[in-house]
Structure 1
Amino acid sequence: MGIVKKLLAALAATTLVAAQDTTFTQEQVDSGEALKSLSKQALDAALARLPESGEGCTRENVRVRREWRNLPAEMRIKYTDAMLCLQAAESINTEIDGAKSAYDDFAVLHYNLTPFVHNSATFLTFHRYYIHTLEEQLRTKCGYDGDFPYWEWGLDCADPQKSPLFDGSETSLGSDGEPVAASPGGGGFGGFPGMGGGSGGGCVMKGPFSNYTVNLGPSTVAEPLAYNPRCIKRNLNGAICAANASIRNTTDVITSAPNIELFQAIIQGDMRYPEARGLGMASHGGGHFTIGGDPGGDFYFSPLEPAFFQHHGQIDRMYFIWQNLDWENRQGIAGTGTMMNQPPSDEVKLDDLLDLSPLAEARPIRDLVDTIGGPFCFVYE
């Protein structure tokens, strides 16, 4: 934590800027220089809103979320050990046959809420609170004491199998799946059918989670919440990553969206909006299908893929950067309470409750908009 403390100390005198510089050349975008600049501007702006010390969230105690490869090796192992611990802990959903572990409880919640927290007003705040809830369980139930990691997909599009996240080493989340001819990418995500073209498709071959049992799903069976034990499968796909989740894709979302309505539409490829048409599965679906497999490519049960939380950490990081580049104007939400407004539903308000029970208490959405407010106290490096 020494490096983090030095970083925070160096930023202690930072002053808040209302709107940041988002003008870059294409070369700066493609090289990652632009995204690094935007990330630093957002971090500086967020830290400037915090007191140096005292009660509540401060520069002294704020957690810093870090990209997977920036975690020390021993901390990556502690993280996977904590995830395995959660997968062995007892479920609280005793009435659901397929829920065998505390980790399965997260999949049950996501399955039940999927029609309400995708392509809706709560997509970003739900997943922010959802990831935070997992992090708190890793800490309280399994003793994890490190930084929560995210995955910057664009660093690995050239060859996801060589990613520190998926290289099969003890410091990864396990390997790709065993190669399977014409392997499907999953059960369909966000309206896209199962996709081929990946490098795996079968059971994860080695590393952490190679012996992990998926208990629930897939969403296409008659009883998705029934007990259905099987191996975890992956189908890593660099072409999908390059087309949807590259450094350019990520940067363009952050710099092109003038308001929250278009930001969440572009990041999800919401075809109701002209600005999002032609983006295919966009960054959100692209990150999911870079992993693919079962359950990684399943719209409802994708949280049963451990890398789900690093993928959505990157989505939340994009949200954090976008917000803090113009904080005064980016604290709102937009949309209704159902996916694509089907069936038609009311506009969601900041004072409406977002309920993650039984895993976390219901909270007003306005408490979930700021990563250094409400139940949160974290920033992204």
Structure 2
Amino acid sequence: MKEFLQLKAFIFLASVVVVALAAPESCENECKNPGIRREWRSLGFNDQKAFADAIKCSLHWHLLSWHRLFLNTLENILRSECHYTGHLPFWDWTLGDYHDIKHSYLFNADPEVGFGAFPGPETNYTVTTGAFRNLIRAYPYTHRGQRNYTLRPFAYDPLLQANTTQTLEEWKKLVTGSVGNYTSFQYSVDGVRGEGVHIATHLSIGGDVAALSYSPNDVIFFLLHCQLDRLWAAWQGYSPQNRYAIGGGLTQDLLHYDTYPVGTGTPVTLDTVILLSNLAPNTKVKELMDTKGGVLCYEYEITGSTYM
């Protein structure tokens, strides 16, 4: 139950109780040539390898998971430190992967571009194949990446399957629902008891990515969260009422999550500042509400789960 409550703390950007619908003040950045974040399969071998090589170069950094800003920061690090010229890819599980996540195209053993096949108990669920098989993770202890797929990861409902959240139908429900209400949207994405697509995907993949404090140890984290950022962007674009909806509380009350599902304490506003330690400048929420404005300049490729 403790692990479940910790996983509930995965949130998109900030929690929401009060919805702010007014557009923020315009930011100076003009996004004239937005980068295109593409689905992993559309990259081709050379671009997949360039990403894998850049990630292996960059993982001496200790990265904090602050979602949209965090992903943008990672892109900048890959470019400045590892000479990467592409953009972060995303993993669109609605393309059919949800039928059999364990054998998805991404989780293959290719030593140059594969994310590694799911291991078994004979290796203590340590990933021994794929491009990242030899990466040593330093936190919370020295180890190689671990992964343990579980189709039914919910102790409170052992029959509930995680992949029921990953269908195209569920994606469309999330994009078109909760109009003007980010609280409802986030709650739907996470789920009342972790059964939403966000936490269900983390839990079912298992291993490092299922742990709150070190989930970025598994490189699949970045593709997973690009897909979730893409989902948020699609919801924002579905209705003018969604575009600048933000609010909530800065304190995540894990012991009373059902009462305060999107935080409590100091209200989050468009002027709330997000900190990423020394990885990036302090950034206000309003600078992150448009993927082609503020400090951002990218958009997503259209795939099976229509970018509405």
TM-score normalised over the length of structure 2? 0.77
Once residues 344 and 287 of structure 1 are traced to their aligned partners in structure 2, the CA distance between those partners, rounded to angstroms, is: 26
TM-superposed deviation, 1:139 = 0.9
TM-superposed deviation, 1:325 = 1.5
Range with greater deviation from structure 2 (75-84 or 242-251): 242-251
2:137 is aligned with 1:214: yes
Over the aligned positions, Cα root-mean-square deviation in angstroms equals 2.2
Aligned to 1:365: 285
2:49 is aligned with 1:135: no
Structure with bigger gyration radius: 1
- RCO (CA 8 Å, sep 6+): is it higher in 1 or 2? 2
TM-superposed deviation, 1:367 = 0.7
Runs of 4+ in structure 1 over 6 Å off: none
Q: Give the 5 Å matches for 1:94-113.
A: 101-102=60-61, 105-106=62-63, 109-110=64-65
TM-superposed deviation, 1:374 = 1.0
Aligned to 1:56: 30
Once residues 247 and 201 of structure 1 are traced to their aligned partners in structure 2, the CA distance between those partners, rounded to angstroms, is: 33
Over residues 182-241 of structure 1, what are the superposed CA-to-partner deviations in whole Å (9 max), with x where a residue is unaligned? xxxxxxxxxxxxxxxxxx961112111111112102xxxxxxxxxx21121111345544
2:176 is aligned with 1:255: yes
Once residues 281 and 82 of structure 2 are traced to their aligned partners in structure 1, the CA distance between those partners, rounded to angstroms, is: 20
Q: Give the 5 Å matches for 1:165-244.
A: 165-170=106-111, 172-180=113-121, 202-217=125-140, 228-238=141-151, 240-244=161-165
Over residues 117-167 of structure 1, what are the superposed CA-to-partner deviations in whole Å (9 max), with x where a residue is unaligned? xxxxxxxxx410011101110111001111320011233122224322111
TM-score normalised over the length of structure 1? 0.63
Describe the shift of the 1:328–1:252 C-alpha distance in structure 2 as closer, same or farther (beyond 3 A): closer
Q: Give the 5 Å matches for 1:296-335.
A: 296-327=209-240, 329-335=242-248
Q: Give the 5 Å matches for 1:334-345.
A: 334-340=247-253, 341=260, 344-345=264-265
Aligned length: 256
Aligned to 1:197: none
Gaps of 5+ in 2: 1-28, 153-160, 254-259, 302-308
Aligned to 1:151: 91
Aligned to 2:273: 353
Q: Secondary structure of 1:157's partner? A: helix
Asked whether the equivalents of residues 230 and 300 of structure 2 are also in contact (C-alpha less than 8 Å), the reply is: yes
Once residues 156 and 171 of structure 1 are traced to their aligned partners in structure 2, the CA distance between those partners, rounded to angstroms, is: 21
Aligned to 1:82: 54
Aligned to 2:3: none
Aligned to 2:6: none
TM-superposed deviation, 1:326 = 1.6
Gaps of 5+ in 1: 1-54, 88-100, 111-125, 182-199, 218-227, 272-278
Once residues 329 and 290 of structure 1 are traced to their aligned partners in structure 2, the CA distance between those partners, rounded to angstroms, is: 29
Aligned to 2:166: 245
Once residues 112 and 230 of structure 2 are traced to their aligned partners in structure 1, the CA distance between those partners, rounded to angstroms, is: 22
Once residues 147 and 168 of structure 1 are traced to their aligned partners in structure 2, the CA distance between those partners, rounded to angstroms, is: 23
Paired letter, 2:110: S
Once residues 291 and 246 of structure 1 are traced to their aligned partners in structure 2, the CA distance between those partners, rounded to angstroms, is: 16
